[in-house]
A and B are shown apart, each in its own frame.
Chain A
Amino acid sequence: MQIDELIQKHGKAPEKLLSILLEFQKSNGDNSLSDDNIRAVAGAMELPVSRVCSVVEFYSLLSRKKRGKHIIQMCGDVPCYINGSVNLKEALEKELGIAFGETTDDGLFTLEYTSCLGYCEQSPAMRIDEDMYGRVTPDALPAILEKYRSL
């Protein structure tokens, strides 16, 4: 999606900055915002580049680092931890062959920690793109990932 389309949809009011950045990022194949993207948003919204940069740096759903097509966020907080997120962590690393913070060589998946996802009654929980998964067992993982591989 082009920045002009986003401005047309959301308007230029500064309170729309975060929504615009999130949507812009999503439309980029690499789930990140480049310096050019940041400059384009700043220009279109008539905001200083530094302001847009500070917002991108602050929010954990936004990234300046190139990421994979699908983002896997595993909850690292206490309710999930005491219900076995450690096992899920190991299974994710093994299944994908990468550590947290890394992206698979084929550019398909990036593995990240997240703070609580509000799915604590179904812990351990994870989110892939916009889909939530609760009570994820290591055994269930391959089938879940396969869905995204074949998307």
Chain B
Amino acid sequence: MQNKSLTLEWVSRHYDKIDPLSIDEYINAGGYESLKKALGMSGDAIISEVKASGLRGRGGAAFPTGLKLAGVKKSAGDIKYLICNADEGEPGNFKDRYQMEKDPHSMIEGMIIAAFAVGAAKGYIFIRGEYDRSIDTVKKALQQAREKGLLGENILGSGFSYDMEVLTGGGSYVCGEEFSLIECLEGKAGHSNYKPPFPTEQGLFGKPTLLSNVETFVNILLIMDKGAEEFSKTGTEGSKGTKMISLCGNVNRPGLYEVPYGVTIRDIIFELGGGVPEGRAIKMVQLGGESGPCIPESELDMPLDYKAMNEKGLSFGSGAVIVMDERIDILDILKKIAKFFLHESCGKCTPCRDGNPHVLILLKRFESGSATERDLAALTSLSDTMCLASTCGLGQAATTAIRSVMKYFPETFATVSDQ
């Protein structure tokens, strides 16, 4: 039996309950009421509310959303943009696809509220090119909102004008990274860049830009709906609200689960996911996706909590939980991960472009049993260097899995003598 208190329906409250292609059903369920409320407030009051809620971005970096909104609001610019990051390329994640396919209007309403708060005039929803159904659903939902006067000139008579459109990606993981995404939106190859300046100051077309994840925008709507005080009662001290968890791998009931912060990884896998097929033992669990750390069974009682994880040097990114059972070979998995980063690197900076092929060469040496102490030292320093010196998050996180395996499964890297 599923433990009731383990899950909540906030972000997912409309999933499979209303027709995603019917704006009327959404409105009948209370939709666009929060937008009306927001349009009667000042932008600063909305931002204060978001700050008070403790909301942190759901796209992976967990940056406080209220601060980001305030940053865009105070940046000078003749025009400001809003971008919804629906690129979802991190292996293991599918939560944003569910949101777009099952309830596009919550995301759209959250975006309009955020645009009003920061004073953005134009928005883009950047959806990965492979998500045909999401693209189609969101485009239709936008058209419906426009027909109801919820987008366009003088929204609901408030004097606020704002519109948005869908743009699609071309099949590139790095384009989920904010700078790369902006390059892609501008019609260029998606090479990343150093920060600062941050997109809040100089983003799309050099203008102040609010760039956030799909789930983050839905949470902004929930904060308007519930109020910051009520919102922040759920979760833990520093991790507020709920998180959408994409559970997959060797698990009986893979799928999307919405949980309040504070539940443990073990509960997610066993109570919600029904454990591992045929009662096999867990070898390791990768958190967040291919760019996240791998933890052993002994760490599964870790709560979903930024601080608790941070203290162990871990993070859960955008909420993927990938379960791997005893049959997997860790080096084989690490090689797969290394190939992913090798393929997806944009090639702009040396640590990532040249580092990834070397990682793969070294991993193959360990696999064949010919690696020496020097290879281990090389892999260690290369992993650290890539993490520290790469330009963007892709190269910085490419060796997170390897570094975590070195810590939790040191026996994986057995060496032979140098002679």
Binding site for B on A (CB under 8 A): 13-19, 21-22, 47, 51, 54-55, 57-62, 73, 76-79, 81-83, 114-123, 127, 130, 132
Contacts and interface: CB of A to CB of B under 8 A. Distances in A.
B187 A15 contact: yes
Given A79-B91, A116-B90, A118-B88, A60 B170 contact: yes
Interface string B178-193: 0000001111111000
A82 B168 contact: no
A114 B286 CA distance: 20
A115 B169 CA distance: 14
Contacts of B247: 121
Interface in B16-73: none
Size class of B's contact patch? Answer: 35 or more
Nearest to A47: B187
Interface in B182-210: 184-190
Interface stretch (B7-15, B303-311, B333-341): B333-341
Interface string B160-181: 0000000111111100000000
A115 B94 contact: no
Q: Which of A77, A79, A114, A127 has the most CB of B within 10 A?
A: A79
A82 B324 CA distance: 7
B152 interface: no
Contacts of A22: 129, 168, 170
Interface in B342-375: 343-344, 346
A121 B344 contact: no
B77 interface: no
A61 to B, nearest CB: 4
Interface in B377-393: none
Interface string B130-146: 11110000000000000
19 contacts: A14-B186, A15-B186, A16-B187, A18-B167, A59-B169, A59-B190, A60-B170, A60-B171, A76-B340, A77-B336, A78-B337, A79-B91, A79-B92, A81-B333, A115-B173, A116-B93, A118-B93, A121-B256, A132-B132
Contacts of A19: 167-168
A121 B246 CA distance: 8
A128 to B, nearest CB: 12
B94 A120 contact: yes
B287 interface: no
Contact of B91 (A14, A47, A51, A78): A78
Given A22-B129, A58-B172, A62-B171, 18 more contacts: A15-B167, A18-B187, A19-B167, A59-B169, A76-B339, A78-B290, A78-B324, A78-B333, A78-B337, A79-B92, A83-B249, A114-B171, A116-B290, A118-B88, A118-B89, A120-B91, A121-B255, A123-B248
Interface in B74-132: 88-94, 96-97, 128-132
A54 B254 CA distance: 39
A16 B170 CA distance: 12
Contacts of B189: 54-55, 57-59
Contacts of B254: 120-123
A77 B91 contact: yes
Nearest to B128: A118
Nearest to B95: A118
A60 B172 contact: yes
Contact of A61 (B90, B171, B185, B256): B171
B242 interface: no
Contact of B170 (A59, A78, A132): A59
Contact of A77 (B130, B188, B340, B346): B340
B170 A58 contact: yes
B47 to A, nearest CB: 28
A130 B88 CA distance: 17
B322 interface: yes
Nearest to A131: B132
Contacts of A13: 187
B250 interface: yes
